[in-house]
Every structure is written in C-alpha cells, then in structure tokens.
Amino acid sequence: MADRLRAGIIGAGFIGGVHAHAVRAAGGEVTRVVASTPDRSAAAAARLGAYAGAPSGEALIDADDVDVVHVCTPNSTHVALARRALAAGKPVVCEKPLATTLDGARELAAAAGGLVATVPFVYRFYPAAREIRARVAAGEAGPLHLLHGAYLQDWQAGGAPAGWRGDASEGGAHRAFADVGVHWCDLVEFTSGHRITRLLAATAGGGTASTVQFETDGGATGSVVVSQTALGRRNALRISLDGERAAYRFDQEDPEAVRIGDTDGDRMLHRGSPASSAAAARYSLLPPGHPQGYQDCFNAFVADTYAAVHGDAPAGLPTFADGLRAAALTDAVIRSSQSSTWVEVPS
C-alpha cells in the first residue's frame, strides 16, 4: 500500500467534509467521493477536493485508486458498505453508530479480523481527555466512586426537522442516545478505565432525550442525561470522574483545560502546562493559547488510523470493537426503557 493513502469518502454532508479535511491533514489524498446522485457526487468532489465522483458507494469501494474507505452515510447503510470494504481487504473508517442493531455491529466487528477498522469516537483525542486518563491510570484520584455528566444539544428543539435521523428505519431506535449518548459513554469508559455493567434508562420525546443510571465493574455508580432538545445547548458534552482523592471534570465546549478538584480546592490544568502528562502532550499540536477543537481531534483520529494502516499501534485508537461496545450499550438502553427495569450490559 502506498505511503500516501488514497481515501474514498461515501457520504458528502457535514461529516464527509470533516473526514476530507482530516484525510489531508494526515497526509492522505481524497481520490473519490459519493453523494446521493451522480450530479451531487461531481459537485461534492469539487467541494471536498476529491479527484472525481463515483457512481455508487459500491463502485467507490471497488475502485483501484481507493486504499481506505470512509463510510459517512445514513446509519442503516453502514453494515453493507463496511462489510463490502472489509471483504475487499480495505481498511475502513465508519461513522457511528456502527450499525442500527447489536447483531449488525457484531457482524462488522467479526468481519474486521486483522484489518484496520475504526470508529470516530474523536473526543478521546482532546489532550484534556488523555490527561484525565493518564492521571486516573496513575492512581492519583484513588478509587473512582461516581461518574456523571451529560451530553446536551438543541438541534431537535421546537420540532426542528431531523432528516433521515428521525426515521427509525434509517437512523435506528433511540436516536439521541445512539447518536451522542454513546460518545459520552465511550469517553467516560476510556478515561476512567471502568466498564458499565448494568443500567436503568428512561427515554422521552420520541427518542430525543434519555436519562441513564448505571453501575460499573470498578465499583462506581453514575448517571448521564442525553438530549437533543435542550434549548441553548449546542454540543455540551460534560463528564466528571469523582474519586477518593481527586475529581476530574471536562467540558467539550471549553476543552482547553481539565478541572481538578482535591482536598486543597479546585484548580485548572491548561493544555500545554509543564505539569501535563506525556499522553496529553502527544495530542497538543498548537502552542498554548491557540485553541484546539473538534476538527483537530478528528485530524488526530484519522492520523492515528492511517498510522495503524502503516503498521503502528497508536494507544487508544477506537476500533470496530468499540463500535460494538456502543451498540451493546444502546441495546441495553432500549431494553431498559421498554421494560422500566435494570438490565445487564453484554461485555
């Protein structure tokens, strides 16, 4: 495979553009792109800087000038497209949710085999998230006993159109949790080292809002509120990991610092501080005072994915196994919401 990886992007909406920027930032090139029609594919190729459009997702996957396939289409199409790319022996970057059903996610995780197959849980790539993870792993917080927070958006408030996400046959069930709640769970499990083992969920607003209580394998309890109808909240992903000796807080809308609480009071550890861990410093790409954001995280995620394609093993790279984990959590939330009981989360 060539050093300069050639990417094909299936799906040319907002997230397709984010992928295209990240491909180039990682040293790759976008050779082909597919939108909903041939005319839109040609227009998207010009807009995203691709060499050409392709007549279909299947044709893009089969193209000789595509080394890596990026799947950025409606959720219901992920399994068929990712499965075809894996069968062709090509690495895959597939948007979450990996599938609209737990069985579909299991199929893709099994099909990945030894190929590089990743899912953009990109909030892992904030230096602040890596800092929290490093400090928890070093035991600085002591045993964690409470994990809590929220992921709140408002784009569905006031009956705003949801597009394909509002159609359960295309977007899947319990769309707010499947869309953004899994990001919260992934970030909390990644930073804490805990796994959610059982949960109690309630869902309202036709799937646009959920509250989830949970227990972990590390002896902690926790809760998260997820909503896409919370007025005034654009993309408010917030976590708090509370331990015996310290608590760590992170806010995605103000991501340049970790808030640390301990017995001496509260303080902020800013990105680029001399006290930062090596794990955080690896992803601190700009001088302090020059804010890094979502696109920077996505760039780092794709760069690590491409490094894995070339044989490296970057720590914390989210794979199809993590996509399967997210599907298992979503399935548990659905089952709990329907039964109004605590349910076990498959390991």
User: pTM of the predicted model, to two decimals?
Assistant: 0.96
Q: Strand, coil or helix: what is 252?
A: coil
Residue written as token pair 């807080």: 249
DSSP string covering 261-276: EETTEEEEEETT-TT-
Q: Which pLDDT value is given to residue 1?
A: 61
> What pLDDT, on the 0 to 100 scale, is given for residue 165?
57
- What's the mean pLDDT in 303-331? 97
Q: Please give the mean pLDDT across all residues of the chain.
A: 95
For residues 178-197, average pLDDT: 97
The conformation of residue 148, written as its DSSP 8-state character, comes to E
Q: Of residues 328 and 1, which shows the higher confidence score?
A: 328
Percent of the chain as helix, strand, coil, to the nearest 5: 40, 25, 35
Q: How many Cβ atoms are within 10 Å of 294's Cβ, its own excluded?
A: 15
pLDDT at 347: 81
Choose the weakest-confidence range: 37-46, 62-71, 153-162, 272-281.
Answer: 153-162
Residue 173 has pLDDT above 80, yes or no: no
DSSP string, 318-346: -BHHHHHHHHHHHHHHHHHHHHTS-EEPP
- Outline where the chain has alpha helix (H): 14-25, 38-48, 57-62, 78-87, 102-112, 127-137, 168-171, 175-176, 182-192, 278-281, 294-309, 320-339
Residue 288 has pLDDT above 90, yes or no: yes
pLDDT, tens digit, 9 for 90 and up, residues 2-50: 689 999 999 999 999 999 999 999 999 999 999 999 999 999 999 999 9
**Cα separation, 11 vs 274, whole angstroms:** 41
pLDDT at residue 167, rounded to an integer: 57
How far apart CA 261 and CA 275 sit, in angstroms, is 16
Nearest-angstrom CA–CA distance, 30 and 50: 5
Distance CA 298, CA 275 (A): 25
Average pLDDT over residues 132-161: 94
Q: Is the pLDDT of residue 136 over 70?
A: yes
CA nearest to 303, candidates 18, 53, 24: 24
Confidence of residue 206 (pLDDT cuts 50, 70, 90): confident
Confidence category of residue 166, pLDDT binned at 50, 70, 90: low
Spatial distance between the Cα atoms of 298 and 62, rounded to a whole number of angstroms: 26
